[in-house]
Structure 1
Amino acid sequence: MKQALIYITVAISLMLLSSSFFKSTSSDTKTLPKITSSIQDSKFNTLVWADEFDGEGAINPEKWFRQTQLPPGGSWWGGLVQHYTNRNDNSYVKDGFLNLVAKKEEYEDQGEIKQYTSARLNSKFAFTHGKVEVRAKMPEGIGTWPAIWMLNTNINEDGAYWDNQGLGTVKWPYCGEIDILEHWGKNQDYVSSAVHNGSSYGDKVKNLGGQTIKNASTEFHIYALEWTSEKMIFSIDGIAHFTYNPSIKNTETWPYDTDYYLILNIAVESEIDQNFIESPMVVDYIRIFQ
């Protein structure tokens, strides 16, 4: 009988130890990143900047600047019809995600009344060469135009964060622009990437590519840019759709060896669906590796 009690005691102890182990393992799992970065195949494998969008409420003011100043003429270029605001209504963090929200609402700012609002964020971090990964899902609706892209810190654009720091000396497109992703609601699920510079801009854009993906507005996808001193590779979920590698690199084709910063925004085109009310671009994380 005594020996049986010993066996029972040992068995109970093992069960408790096993329970404790699995409970600990489950708890530890919650501290892991939401998704593992695909840096194994990249020369850039050191995380230098990130926003995981943890917490609730306002965006992190140490990492982001809300750009709201209208260009000369009172509207954003390309016939866009929105105000970008500095309100939490249009950009906020909730449940571990960044929400950029385009809304149908009358809003007056800088002496201009517009019928739509949205947000345009500038990162306060800038870098030269590296890998950018963004896990996000797009807004939905004809007339929505979300983008995650980059501009040179030397762009002369009144109201932009780096111009406010006194760095604005070069006009667009000669400063250079890198579009990691653009998605037009009028062409649902087609995502494109492009570069703009002195040799390719406006109606003359020739350096671009894209791919059709499934459920761009209802499922998360990983949008990535790998940028070296020689070329840029743009991909979605590890599948590349555009490589920029000009044979002649000069100030016209390759202004891409100085610091660039991130921009996240949703523009609203004039042909916006009249039944549109609001829709968010939801971002899980942004990570930059060098």
Structure 2
Amino acid sequence: MSLVDPNTPKDARPLGLPDSDNLKLVFSDEFTTAELDTTKWTARDQDRGKGNSGLEWWYKSSNVRKATGNNALAIDVGKISDTVYSGGRIDSQGKFDFTFGTLECRMHIPPTIGHLAAAWLQSAVGLPEGPNVTARTGSEIDIIESFSTENQYAVTLHWGGYGQYHKQSSVTVAAPNLHNTWYHTLGLSWQSDKMLFTFDGNIIRTITDANLISQVREFPIFSNEVISFAQGDIRKAPLDASCTVYVDYVRIWQ
């Protein structure tokens, strides 16, 4: 079964990345169907824990929907109670993963008010733990985490698990008009010896340290996260469409 959306343009190539003419499209979703394509994606229901403020947050599948009158995926945020808020997440775990390739997505990044837009990869084998573990055995690869109220975002790698052995490498990059231009194109060229991250066709982070480059299968994730390190106060967010993350497409080549 092909995981390439027939609506993806035949000549689609990643923006701003060199040597892309020989790449083959292996996965794509243009989000034109009436419902989420569950052959590719799972929308999650998951308790995400509590932050320092005492607020609790969840992923709720009810926050994932097809955007009305628009060929895009919408991921909303909402309020469950005075102390419990919800975002949303889709991922392709168990349905599609890959080692090395180029991912490109086009997203609307709403203003950050205690929640953030994220596009990321997660290791299909999890994050092995230990004092000497490197990212080569699997990492979380954050293409974007829009943690800031300013026109900037984090490009981050996490490895070694999420406990005592957790390590990360993070760079905050400038992103002109991040929140006030409707769509932006974000990309990752992941090779065995190099990773290039792009914003609107410009390379904004390059990684060549071998110990930072995952060598295992990873799967894509898109989320709208209510989380403590996102700037602003979720209790002051309007919790309407102005807080929604929209994903116009995702395409992966190898």
TM-score for the superposition, normalised by structure 2: 0.77
Q: Does the alignment pair 1:147 with 2:111?
A: no
Q: Is 1:66 aligned with 2:24?
A: no
Matches within 5 A, 1:171-190: 171=129, 175-184=138-147, 186-190=148-152
Mapped to 2, the partners of 1:275 and 1:266 lie a distance apart of: 16
Give 1:194's aligned residue.
Answer: 156
Q: Which amino acid aligns with 2:118?
A: A
Aligned twin of 2:236 = 275
| Structure 2 residue corresponding to 1:38, chosen from 10, 14, 21 | 14
Aligned to 2:88: 119
Write the deviation string for residues 114-171 of structure 1: whole angstroms up to 9, x where unpaired.
Answer: 5311111111310000000000111224211221101110017xxxxxxxxxxxxx35
Q: How does 1:1-290 map to 2 (within 5 A)?
A: 33=9, 36-38=12-14, 41-43=18-20, 45-56=23-34, 58-70=35-47, 75=49, 81-87=56-62, 90-94=63-67, 95-106=70-81, 114-123=83-92, 124-155=95-126, 170-171=128-129, 175-184=138-147, 186-198=148-160, 205-246=168-209, 249=210, 253-254=211-212, 256-270=214-228, 272-278=233-239, 279-290=243-254
Q: Deviations over 1:186-214 (max 9, x none)?
A: 43321221222249x99953443412221
Structure 1 Cα separation of the partners of residues 10 and 185 of structure 2: 12
C-alpha distance 104-127 of structure 1, shift in aligned 2 (>3 A):
same
Number of residue equivalences: 229
Q: Is the 8 A contact 2:144 2:153 kept in 1?
A: yes
CA distance in 2, matches of 1:100, 1:171: 31
User: Does the CA contact (< 8 Å) of 1:209 and 1:242 recur in 2?
Assistant: no
Are residues 68 and 196 of structure 1, via their aligned partners in 2, closer, same or farther at CA, if it must alter by over 3 Å?
same
Residues 35 and 273 (structure 1), Cα distance of their counterparts in 2 relative to 1, 3 Å cut: farther
- 8 Å CA contact 2:14, 2:102 repeated in 1: no
Q: Structure 1 residues 207 and 86, CA, compared in 2 at 3 Å: closer, same or farther?
A: closer
Structure 1 residues 10-47: Cα deviation after superposition (integer angstroms, max 9, x where no partner) = xxxxxxxxxxxxxxxxxxxxx78499433673346210
The more displaced of 92-101 and 269-278 is 269-278
Contact 1:54–1:96 under 8 Å retained in 2:
yes
1:49-96 deviation line (CA, Å, top 9, x unaligned): 00100022x31111111222336xxx1678773211122xx1111321
- Aligned amino acid, residue 63 of structure 1: K
Consecutive unaligned residues of structure 2, counting only runs of 5 or more, are 1-6
Of Structure 1 and Structure 2, which has the larger fraction of its residues in helix? 1
TM (normalized to structure 1)? 0.69
Task: State the distance in 1 between where 2:83 and 2:10 align.
Answer: 38
Q: Measured at CA, do residues 203 and 63 of structure 1 come closer, stay the same or move farther in structure 2, by a change above 3 Å?
A: closer
After TM superposition, give the deviation of residue 243 of structure 1 in Å.
0.8
Map of 1:16 onto structure 2: none
Aligned AA (1:129): F
Contact 1:195 1:208 in 2 (8 A): no
Secondary structure at 2:235's aligned position in 1?
coil
- Which one-letter code corresponds to 2:28 in the other structure? A
5+ long unaligned stretches in structure 1: 1-30, 107-112, 157-169
- CA RMSD for the aligned pairs? 3.2
